[in-house]
Chains A and B, each alone.
Chain A
Amino acid sequence: MLKNYFKIALAVLGRRKFFTFISLFGISITLTVLLVATAFLDQVANAHYPDTQRDRILYVTRFFKWSRTHGSINGGNLGYYFITHYLNTLKVPEAIGFASNSHLTNTYLGDKKFSLEMRQTDAHFWDILRYDFLEGKPYSQAQIDHGDRVVVIGAKTRDDYFGRGASALGKYIVADNVTYRVVGVVRDEQVANNLTAADIYLPYSLSKVSLDSRDLAGDYTGFLLAPASSDVPRMRREFNDMFAKVPLMDKDYDHQISWADSYIASYSRNAFGGLGTKDFFANLERGSDGLGWFYLSLTLLVLLFMLIPTLNLININITRIMERSSEIGVRKSFGASSRTLVIQFIIENIFLTLLGALIAVALSLGAIALINRAQPISNMYLSLQPRVLAYGLGYALFFGLLSGVYPAWRMSRLPIVTALKA
């Protein structure tokens, strides 16, 4: 029966070529945009170089303290004190590392000006993140403790500063008016990795900010690496138990909070945490990570984007289906129930959208090649991985279903005699 449906679907596509063109154009352009957007989200949200172990890592990015009495709130990233005195006490993580936010600095080589992003890290940062060292190696804990002025730089910084292809190992680079010796060069990562990407990495002990502060808030993000992904929930529980025992360090505040989140949750909490709650502080106490809202927003965005092409396709489908009323009448006369016909037309429509999806894959490959060449986000290389293609298939099936159900339902209600007379 499926073969019969496909034969009909193919024949119908060939019957009104302009309608077919409009349908396929709408479907393929819509799916192309969704595929490219999905490839982008996949590249940003899922594990990739150098953060290849995201399923094993929890990110501690925020610390807040607030006073319900005064209605005041203060916070930011983690303080060095928080990391060394509390985070480092955790037993479940296989490794605990940290890195500061990146800070822009200018440096000069002759008349040439460079803008460089600098980030301070500890030694474990290099164990948790899987950087490819093109030259040398990361700085050691001993070098950090000793306050050696050593740095790891990215490949582009090396090429810009020392010349393309030249070795940078052991050479000196001036940044922020300080001269550093290069001990390692890593393959560049996409700049969208805003917890890890930088042009220069240096030991946290070289920070110009004092490390003696007892403030739990500061400039750092903590990385907790679990022994296995199955240990992540246990690691999160341990973090929460640990944090519950952290004393209030500042008497002006009566509450404080911090979270160990998955990568996506560390963003969704900032963007969506507390959405829908009237009491901002209550939400902080409950600790909603906003993931539900995040996924809901993405779904709504996709639906909204699909809405106009879907309505367009529904209109075309109604016209095309009603042109086939004689066929509908005949099929019903010879034993097709309304339900059977609905299924037939939905299958035909899904066939059409899958055809559009094939075109969309070809268009997406072209678009992605252009994007990768233009590099709107440095070092981000999109690709149509199987996971992205699976999403694409899902979009196509959903699109086909969405735009096929109403016309099919309307058609199935057509009285046989009326259908035969049309």
Chain B
Amino acid sequence: MLHLQNIEKVYRTDTVETLALKNINLDVAKGEFLSVMGPSGCGKSTLLNIMGLLDGPSRGEVRIDGQSTARMSDKDLAHFRNKSIGFIFQSYHLIGELKVLDNAELPLLYRTMSARERKRLATEALEKVGLANRVRHFPTQLSGGQKQRVAIARAIVGNPEIILADEPTGNLDSFMGGEIMDILTHLNKTEGTTIIMVTHDESMARRTHRLVRLFDGSQVQ
């Protein structure tokens, strides 16, 4: 489903050139739950950003469902992300000014859909993560675990084929982290959603189907 070929990512400033990823070749099958591990600064998040079309590779190609993303316009990429990919970030990235329900329905704003339908789907997504009773709360009124659940609801509300999670349990204690993992595992099993998760936590990684390890920008496992 997701195919990375000879991916290289170089960050350049006026004086320094940093090779963040080199020669990454990776295939992720539909319905797979993959974890990416490695020390800080090894390129995990960079890889995730490239897979999620948030950033482009300096070299190489990303293909999703056989479709090359290299020549997609800003609008095409936005459309593709909206339809096919859901993101979960370590620091949640909820919009503080919006209530839980409004945060959860955000991806649907960029689809042609009635407000009623958006509300229905967002409520359903929040029910799936056990937050149906918090729809009128603001993010500041929630615990870290609850915020991450809202973020998951936002990621799944549009029924994407792929979920990219960047250290989704990184800011949570082990209990809450375990709950988040339960939700992701359940999603993968019941909905068949492909999940790629960056983590530092070996125990979380063990709960996924496959582990990819990076070191200094290269794939070592």
Contacts and interface: CB of A to CB of B under 8 A. Distances in A.
A331 interface: yes
Interface in A367-382: none
A330 B74 CA distance: 15
B81 A7 contact: no
Contacts of B87: 333-334
A205 to B, nearest CB: 76
A97 interface: no
Interface string A1-39: 101100110011001000000000000000000000000
B126 to A, nearest CB: 16
A338 to B, nearest CB: 5
A335 B93 contact: no
A8 B97 contact: yes
B185 interface: no
A420 B79 CA distance: 19
A7 B98 contact: yes
Nearest to B77: A337
Contact of A335 (B79, B95, B102): B79
Interface of A, helix, strand, loop or mixed by DSSP: helix
Contact of B109 (A4, A11, A12, A417): A4
Contact of B97 (A12, A332, A339): A12
A331 B78 CA distance: 10
Interface in B99-146: 102, 106-107, 109-111, 115
B97 A15 contact: yes
Contacts of B82: 334-335
B74 A7 contact: no
A7 B87 CA distance: 23
Contact of A420 (B75, B93, B95): B93
A363 interface: no
B7 to A, nearest CB: 15
7 contacts: A334-B106, A335-B107, A335-B110, A335-B111, A336-B110, A338-B78, A339-B75
Given A1-B109, A416-B49, 16 more contacts: A7-B97, A8-B95, A11-B97, A11-B98, A333-B81, A334-B81, A335-B78, A335-B79, A335-B82, A335-B111, A336-B78, A336-B110, A339-B74, A415-B55, A416-B54, A417-B54
Interface of A: 1, 3-4, 7-8, 11-12, 15, 326-327, 329-340, 415-417, 420
Q: Which 6 A-B pairs have the closest CB atoms?
A: A335-B82, A11-B97, A335-B110, A337-B78, A334-B107, A416-B54
